[in-house]
Amino acid sequence: MSGHGILYGVGVGPGDSELVTLKAYRILQATRHVAYFAKQGKTGNARRIAGPHLREDHQTLRLEYPFTTEIPVDDADYQPAMDRFYDAAAARVARHLAAGQDVAVLCEGDPFFYGSYMYLHQRLARDFSSEIVPGVPGMSGCWALAGTPITQRDDVLTVLPGTLPAEALRRRLADSDAAVIMKVGRNLPAIRAALAEVGALERAILVERGTMPGERVVRLTELGDDRRVPYFSIVLVPGCRGLQ
């Protein structure tokens, strides 16, 4: 691997450009080639967060997702199309690495926590040196913004997608002290019902666009029934032991 560039997976945190670590900042200053994922027609969250830290002489590789709308993961066409996209994205990054150029991949939140970076890592880490710079996850930004401790002592925390079937959602919430529910969007009515069934609705908090422009924190009990919320909203269910 000598003579090759280094692949950096750089967590840029939940949204506020100041929630980038000193290490991420140093690596971005020292790395000319910066890659990021973005949806068609969008700036890309990671790119927007890192924006104030990039200079004009940074060379950016925009890795643009092939879909403009969310396709369900269980759709038969989804996975093959995504695999081809990640293969092509990895090949673009690999050309720079093979030419001896380091590449920093910008990752919203933390690179190894529900991030797209790992699809590049899988494809490239065997052939190239890599380093992960962990970042503040989106959920940490959300509970800081909400002013709500999420866990303490021996609390069990479950992080789960709101896309789960209602019964699975209910069972897992019943078995957790604290929970973070991601991918809320149109699943909100089912999430709300599950929380009510297990007696956790009163303490549930919805965070939209945590630490980003347009951020909003509201108790689920104060949210109108017909209110539509963005897909990437998060519901926080703080642990309740000992904080009475």
Q: Which residues bind a second copy (CB under 8 A)?
A: 11, 13-14, 16-23, 25-26, 73, 110-115, 118, 121-122, 125, 130, 132-137, 140-141, 143-145, 147-161, 163-164, 172, 175-176, 183, 243
Least spacing, CB of residue 87 vs a second copy, in Å: 15
d(CA 165, CA 195): 13
For the record, the structure tokens of 197 come out as 């069934």
Residues 145 and 215 sit within 8 Å (Cβ to Cβ)? yes
Least spacing, CB of residue 45 vs a second copy, in Å: 16
Least spacing, CB of residue 119 vs a second copy, in Å: 8
C-beta closer to a second copy: residue 99 or 243: 243
Nearest Cα neighbor of 92 from 58, 125, 120, 133 is 120
Nearest Cα neighbor of 108 from 175, 173, 38, 189 is 38
Least spacing, CB of residue 225 vs a second copy, in Å: 26
C-beta closer to a second copy: residue 176 or 233: 176
Query: What DSSP character marks residue 8?
Result: E
Nearest Cα neighbor of 95 from 58, 71, 120 is 120
Give the bridge partners for 217, in sequence order.
207
C-beta closer to a second copy: residue 125 or 201: 125
C-beta closer to a second copy: residue 61 or 157: 157
C-beta closer to a second copy: residue 167 or 225: 167
Least spacing, CB of residue 177 vs a second copy, in Å: 10
Burial class for 60, CB neighbours closer than 10 Å (0-12, 13-18, 19+): middle
d(CA 220, CA 184): 12
